[in-house]
Structure 1
Amino acid sequence: MASFSRFRALAAVAPATAMAMMSAAGCAPSPAGEPPCFPPPYSVRPSEARPGDSVTVQAQDAGCNPRYGGNARIQISVTDSSGAKVINATSAMNDGGGFTYTFVVPARTTKGQAAVTAVPYSIDWCDDTGRNNRVAGAAVVLLQRASCVLPVKPLTIRR
């Protein structure tokens, strides 16, 4: 009888817990009632380059309000086909997530498929750690840890 009572208690708590978890998830509206806002998609141009060529990584402002602030930075990394990180830099990003960063492909870059990443620097852009670092002074919002996939764009290195 005790195990049946424990099962009934768990069955009664489970739906309420699931509802609380869904509403507290990283996809819940912000404290201001705005929808969630992830970094805007970025592009890499050209998609093929040789060492010594210039490559531009760029994003337009997000279609939502990410509130990155006036001193926001974007972290750009390029990892070549051998797994070596050949670019690891930060650059200015505006409050809406827009940025333009141009780099010269280093001579040491291995030919083949390189991976370019661009994510907001030194902030929790995914909101998966229980804090929203983008909205200073907002009411405390508990967030459920979520999986965030690191955005990666290809860059083919030719010789």
Structure 2
Amino acid sequence: MNVVVFQVCTVCLLFFLTLLELVEMLLKQRRMDGGKAALWLVRARRIGAAKKNFRTSLLTFGGRAQEAELGEDRYLAGNRMTDDLYLDVSGKRVRLYINVQSDRLFLTVIQGAVHIEYHTYEADQGKRIEIPDRTKVIVSDLELEFIRKKVA
């Protein structure tokens, strides 16, 4: 009898934790959507084969945004669920630090590598890369395009 009670408690706890994570994801999305005026737009486009597994099926269940508006702030982008901008890339861990200022955008590669035009930038926390308008950054099998929005 104790085993059955333990199993029921475990299932209820897992269900509660799943609901808690979903609420946190929705609140995080609202925080990113509202607030500061959007200065940049980031569009993502897959250029490699799409991976299909249980986790990506869960992520696409509610519809996955292919673009995000960035206000004047600092963002962590990577293929971890705890990052501000989730990049669905396969392979090695990738982590980018995006610093959005009122007049320009800087990118720092913390982990992994990115390709911008004909250059490859490896992880270097001391190097800031200035990203001009309409720049395409390739991260593994994902292409990110940074577009400057017209601000009045």
TM-score > 0.5 by shorter chain:
no
Structure holding more helix per residue: 2
TM-score by length of 2: 0.34
TM-score by length of 1: 0.33
Structure holding more strand per residue: 2
